[in-house]
Amino acid sequence: MFAIGQSGSLTEKIAPMILAWTAVSRYSGNVTITQESGVRSFYFLNGKVIYVTSNHPEEGIIAALVRLKKLNNEQYKAIYVKAHSAGLMPEAIAQNDYDILGGALKEAEKLAARLLIRKMATDMDGGSYELTAGVKPGNGSVLVELDPLFDLLTAAADGISDEAAKNYFNQNNFYLRARSDTWEKMLAVFSSLRGALQKPLVLPDAEIPPAYSLDIIDKTDISPRSLLLLLIAAAIVPSAPREDDAVLEKPGTEQEEAARKEIHEEYQRIKEADYFTVMQLPDNAGEEQIKNSYLALAQKWHLDSFAGLDLGSAAKELQAIFAKINEAKETLLDPKKRESYIFFLERTKAGLPTDVEVILKAEDNFKRAQLCIEQGKYQVALPLLEEAVALNKGEADFWIALALSKVAVQGEAAYKEAMEMLQKADEMDKKFHLKVLLTKGKIELLLSHYKEADKYYSEVLAIQPENEVAQRDKRLITSRLARKMAKEAKEPKSLKELLTGKK
């Protein structure tokens, strides 16, 4: 739509489209806007604004410094007087005389650029424009990188009503052309705008066509305002449709339409499904069942079964269906692959990690924490275990070690949470039941709950009479209670009474 060396009259419609074009085409050069109110220049590098100038007294970087309260009005006037008499850029005077450096200049430059872009988007009618290549900003300029597309859309979003957009469409027969990279950029911008584009304006296969007409406005719930913003962002070009630009799928015969519908429905059914669902089999299906199901499905969804039919975009879906059927068969018939796949499914359904690196990282943290616990370094062990559990919530021994460490570090405050963790671990994997009981005893012992600790250790010994940890800690409880009894009242209670509460 635009080209280097081009010039022309400026209108309210042309102004924002110039900025959209600079972003989309990754333009490097200078855009000069000349009006009675002043001359503005935008300097671009690969589609990004790197500098702006304006001789309008209320615009430009020095005016922005005043808005940001880095300069006052007197300093502002003095800078322009000195710059004019010395033939220097005002920015250079600000740097030299007022120590306006680095971050402040960059902040002011961005503000100045955004204010001018907003003016281009909403209020720049009349005058002329010129596109020039290879023009560089002068000495004292501050390099900033500003995406004009984002600021253009932000400004336009506030300034365009649905009514105005409808009138715009009625008066112009526009055709949209966009490259894929442009489209992705637009969607990224729109996702951050208040109440703007809620649905991507794309065809069902999510590919960007070379062009499509605006009758799509009647087939979507996208507002005219959002569509107009899309047109601005993509740098619209008025044109008549060309034959090779056709994007609507050619209607098929009744048989072809039925085939397309059937393929699409099957594709939707299996695209996120597990291999058992794809093959329409139970989880315990045997080799013979898998082979029979594969033969039936492969025959039904092979391309030859639709020979002579124009499938349109459904042809790609048919290929994907057949490929997934083959993947399912290969995986389920190979014992090792099937075992790994079922492991993957089970962990996925349980919300557990399937990434080997994540699993190994959690295991490494657990092992390091275990060494710390053995050395009594619970403060070091606790964050390692918290990260291990965050990475992999499916390991009972992680929860057991975490419960013990939390109580060792946080005391009574962590007691309830720790006991809940141990209950979770016990329910998760019954083979850790003995370890859960020992850890409960250890926690009670740490908190001087001798009666409760003795109860848990007694449960351990009932299951495993030779357990050395339970035997040792019961002796420790007896020793501590004996010392406690010696310090208590004149008529000390017996060990039995201390432990059971009964005489």
Walk me through the domains of the chain, giving residue ranges and CATH numbers. 7-146 (no CATH), 160-242 (no CATH), 254-349 (1.10.287.110), 350-422 (1.25.40)
Q: Which residues are CB-contacts of 442 (< 8 A; sequence separation ≥ 6)?
A: 404, 453, 473
Query: Count of alpha carbons within 13 Å of 448, Cβ hemisphere only?
Result: 4
pLDDT of residue 417: 93
Residue 89 or residue 255, greater confidence: 255
- Which among 32-41, 107-116, 137-146 has the top mean pLDDT? 32-41
Flag whether pLDDT at 411 surpasses 70. Answer: yes
Question: What is the spatial order of strands in the sheet that 237-238 belongs to?
Answer: 212-213, 174-176, 237-238
Flag whether pLDDT at 268 surpasses 60. Answer: yes
Query: Count of alpha carbons within 13 Å of 10, Cβ hemisphere only?
Result: 25
43 vs 146: CA distance, rounded Å: 11
pLDDT of residue 205: 34
Average pLDDT, the chain: 75
pLDDT of residue 378: 92
Flag whether pLDDT at 109 surpasses 50. Answer: yes
pTM, rounded to two decimals: 0.38
pLDDT band at 177 (very low <50, low <70, confident <90, very high): very low
Q: How does pLDDT run across 21-68, given as a tens digit for each residue?
A: 776 667 788 888 898 878 888 888 877 777 777 777 677 777 888 888
Distance of CA 496 to the CA centre of its chain: 62
**Cβ–Cβ < 8 Å for 428, 411:** no
SS (H, E, C) 138-199: CCCCCCCCECHHHHHHHHHHHHCCHHHHHHHHHHCCEEECCCHHHHHHHHHHHCCCCCCCCC
151 vs 72: CA distance, rounded Å: 27
**Cβ–Cβ < 8 Å for 100, 68:** no
**Cβ–Cβ < 8 Å for 258, 310:** no
pLDDT band at 499 (very low <50, low <70, confident <90, very high): low
461 vs 476: CA distance, rounded Å: 15
Percent of the chain with pLDDT over 70: 69
Q: State mean pLDDT over 173-192.
A: 42
In degrees rounded to 5, what are phi and psi of residue 211? Answer: -170, 155
Flag whether pLDDT at 439 surpasses 90. Answer: yes
Q: Tokens at residue 22, please?
A: 């600079």
Q: How does pLDDT run across 316-336, given as a tens digit for each residue?
A: 899 999 999 999 999 999 998
158 vs 106: CA distance, rounded Å: 25
